[in-house]
Chain A
Amino acid sequence: MSKFKKKQAETKQAVPTSAMPDVVFMLLIFFMVTTVLREVELQVQVEYAQAENIEKIEQKRLVSYIYIGPQRLGNNRLGETKVQIDDTLVDDMGAIRNIMYDKIMEEPRLIVSLRVDQDSEFGIITDVQQELRHAGTLRINYSTLREI
């Protein structure tokens, strides 16, 4: 009896933690791979509209974003509705054509994601869409949130 007890006391109760760094590294590598670091600094305010019948874009590499919304002026003030591509505001609508043309030359399967503030008027989007049509970037996607 006493012999049995002694034996049990001798077994180590500690969980081996030597594999923990490996696990953590695995997680780390996963997040490093999935992270998209180059997030543009938004100069326009965008609040997404909501929709039910949405499709996901699986290949993020194909996506190019156009942001449309009221310009942020600081002190929480909002200005005119502007168009932002990458990191700059585009004042001249005609420039969109050249920018998008260059992009579609690099990636023929380009999808343009229009991230438009829900309180915008459609006129400016019509202008952008006309430019996209001239550039030949015909696949677009109106970015929306899932309606709950």
Chain B
Amino acid sequence: MLDKKRKKEEPEINGSSLADIAFLLLIFFLVVTTIDVDAGIGLVLPPIPDETTPPPPVRDRNLLNILVDAQGRVLMDGDIAVISEVRERVKDFVDNPNDRPDLSESPDDAVVSIKTDRRTPYNVYINMLDEVMGAYAELRNQASQARFGVPYDSLEDDSVEQDEINELFPKRISIAEPDEG
């Protein structure tokens, strides 16, 4: 009789607490995870100039000098500008819709050169760079709307359309050589 009773008991591990264990681990990872999106303003630094090969000549009209000085003032081609002006001026300079002789020949030739002082406040620099990026973003968006009828953001990465727009408005942003000392 004893034997019979034993046979009926199936050896089984109680799995009801498995969910609890998994929940505990889940909560641990939820707490530890930092879903911080890495976002920021991307830029490509110019390579160190080779002493044997001089830098390619850039015509004066194709160059827009932006200087952020120690007091946090923005100077564009020598005259003081407010941060909010930067975007429009860069757009005018790059696109040059009225073919003015003192602005860039074509968007492809336009170079924005950025120069800073050692005591330039970082957030002013970022604000200025943001405006420059904004100008390019607007130009690209306009071109994309005109050509494909969709905003630039909705173009697929590395697609033919996006490459075409990028070629039309290449971001030629150059960091000027810092002064010695």
Residues of A at the B interface (CB closer than 8 Å) are: 17, 20-21, 24-25, 27-28, 31-32, 34-37, 39, 49-57, 60, 63, 111, 113-114, 116-123, 125-126, 129-130, 132-134, 136, 138-147
Interface 9-residue window, one of B28-36, B58-66, B73-81, B98-106: B28-36
Q: B165: CB under 8 A from chain A?
A: no
Q: Which residues of B contact A118 (CB under 8 A)?
A: 122-123, 126
A31-B26 contact given A24-B19, A51-B130, A52-B130, CB 8 Å threshold: yes
Expressed in whole angstroms, the Cα–Cα distance for A130 and B38 within the complex equals 23
Chain B residues with a Cβ under 8 A of chain A:
15, 18-19, 22-23, 25-26, 29-30, 32-35, 37-48, 68, 116-123, 125-127, 129-130, 133-134, 137, 175, 178
- Chain A interface, >50% SS class: mixed
Given the interface pairs A49-B122, A49-B126, A121-B122, the reply to whether A63 lies near B44 with Cβ below 8 Å is no
**Which one, B22, B42, B118, contacts A25 given CB within 8 A?**
B22
Contact A34 B35 (CB under 8 A): yes
Further 6 A-B residue pairs, CB within 8 A, beyond A35-B32, A121-B122: A53-B134, A122-B121, A123-B118, A125-B122, A140-B45, A144-B126
- Which residues from chain B contact A111 at a C-beta distance below 8 Å? 42
CA distance A143 to B42 in the complex (A): 9
A50 to B125 CA separation, bound complex (whole angstroms):
11
Contacts of A126 in B (CB 8 A): 116, 118, 178
Measured CB to CB, the nearest residue on chain B to A32 is: B29
A37, chain B: closest CB distance, angstroms: 7
Q: How far is the CA of A125 from the CA of B137 in the complex (A)?
A: 25
User: A27–B24 Cα gap in the complex (Å)?
Assistant: 12
Residue of B nearest to A146 (CB): B39
CB neighbours of B23 from chain A (8 A)? 24
- Whether A51 contacts B126 by the Cβ 8 Å rule is yes
Whole-angstrom CA separation of A116 from B126 in the bound complex: 10
Q: Is the CB of A63 within 8 A of B130?
A: no
A56 touches B38 (CB 8 A): yes
Chain A residues within an 8 Å CB radius of B34 = 36, 39
Highest count of chain A CB atoms <10 Å: which of B19, B68, B116, B175: B19
Among B33, B38, B48, B121, contact of A34 (Cβ-Cβ < 8 Å):
B33
B22 and A28: CB pair below 8 A?
yes
> Quick one: which of B40, B44, B45, B122 contacts A122, CB cutoff 8 A?
B122
Residue of B nearest to A123 (CB): B118
* Alpha-carbon gap, A111 to B18, bound state (A): 42
Whether B19 and A20, one on each chain, are in contact in the complex, defined by CB atoms closer than 8 angstroms, is yes
In contact, B123 and A119 (Cβ under 8 angstroms): yes
Given the known inter-chain contacts A25-B22, A122-B120, A122-B125, please indicate yes or no for A51 contacting B30, CB distance below 8 A. no
Contact across chains for A121 and B130 when beta carbons are under 8 A apart = no
Docked Cα-Cα span, A66 to B154, in Å, equals: 32
How far is B32's CA from A110's CA once the two chains are assembled, in angstroms? 26
